[in-house]
């Protein structure tokens, strides 16, 4: 089984709640790691997401970070909510 990891940096412009994380995360840039495994037996390369993790500031330990497992849909929902907050803020300017 072949597994690959993809890393990307996402930015939230407002404090954000991601389902599965009990606290609000401050606005800022976050590293997201997505692990995928190759689907065997196909005539073309195809990958299936098996894990999504986000690096966040650690609670209680200044300067430390922790990597938390999240759902990809929950991350997409948080990004959409952040974008809506941005649009709502622009409408009031």
CA-to-CA separations, 70 to 8, 12, 40, 41, in angstroms, rounded: 15, 16, 25, 29
pLDDT computed for residue 42 by the predictor: 85
pLDDT computed for residue 88 by the predictor: 63
pLDDT computed for residue 33 by the predictor: 97
User: Regarding beta strands 65-70 and 47-57, do their DSSP bridges make them parallel or antiparallel, or are they unpaired?
Assistant: antiparallel
Q: Are 16 and 25 in contact (CB under 8 A)?
A: yes
pLDDT computed for residue 90 by the predictor: 57
Statement: residue 92 has pLDDT above 60: no
Residue-wise pLDDT tens digits, 36-91: 999 988 888 899 999 999 999 998 888 899 999 999 999 999 999 999 986 665 55
pTM, two decimal places: 0.82
Q: Half-sphere exposure of 54 toward its Cβ, with a 13 Å CA cutoff?
A: 25
């Amino acid at each position: 089984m072949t597994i690959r990891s993809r890393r990307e940096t996402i930015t939230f412009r407002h404090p954000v709640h991601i389902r599965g994380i009990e606290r609000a995360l401050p606005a800022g840039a976050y590293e997201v790691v997505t692990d995928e495994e190759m689907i065997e037996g196909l005539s073309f390369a195809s990958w299936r997401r098996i894990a999504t993790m986000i690096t966040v500031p650690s609670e209680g330990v200044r300067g430390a970070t922790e990597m938390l497992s999240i759902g990809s849909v929950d991350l997409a929902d948080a990004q959409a909510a952040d974008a809506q907050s941005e649009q709502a803020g622009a409408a009031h300017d």
